[in-house]
Amino acid sequence: MSSPKPTVLILCTGNSCRSHLAEGILRAAAGDSLIVASAGSKPAGYVHPLAIRVMQEIGIDISAHRSKHMNDFLTGTVETVITVCGNADQACPIFPGQVNRHHWPFDDPAHATGTEEQQLTVFRRVRDEIRRAFECYADGRRDAQ
């Protein structure tokens, strides 16, 4: 009998941008090898429309994602927690079954100002930074199997 797939939980404060970008990218990169989820310490209650848009540009649909609180995951087994902002790293509890914890901070594109095109430039930059980090992480996990 095979063991259940490990769960990777990606945390940020609002769970509206960075954690959803990372969740979508890691889910696509890891395929069926991981259960990937995201949550926030103070969820915004929505997924930022520009996050959805820049993910569609790379062929990943996160339009069905929803903003969740990290406490929703305290009753399950989470193997790895990855925080993508400093506030979530400080607020992060220890989850049942947690073996690994990583902190990879990224700028919050939700704070981008200017025209929509200027904001999209920031969203794309952060998406691409997250993509590099999380695709490498997925590759490393595959190589370790």
> Is 17 tagged catalytic?
no
Q: Catalytic: which of 85, 88, 120, 133?
A: 85
> Is 12 tagged catalytic?
yes
Produce one character per residue of 21-53: b if its CB has 16 or more CB atoms within 10 Å, e if not: bbbbbbbbbbeeebbbbbbbbebeeebbebbbe
Q: Catalytic: which of 9, 12, 78, 112?
A: 12
Compute φ and ψ for 71, nearest 5 degrees.
Answer: -65, -20
> Is 136 tagged catalytic?
no
Q: Catalytic: which of 92, 110, 112, 133?
A: 92
Count CA atoms within 13 Å of residue 31 on its CB side.
Answer: 5
What is the C-alpha to C-alpha distance for residues 137 and 53, in angstroms, rounded to an integer?
A: 24
Q: Which residues pair with 3 in a beta bridge?
A: none
Catalytic residue IDs: 12, 85, 92
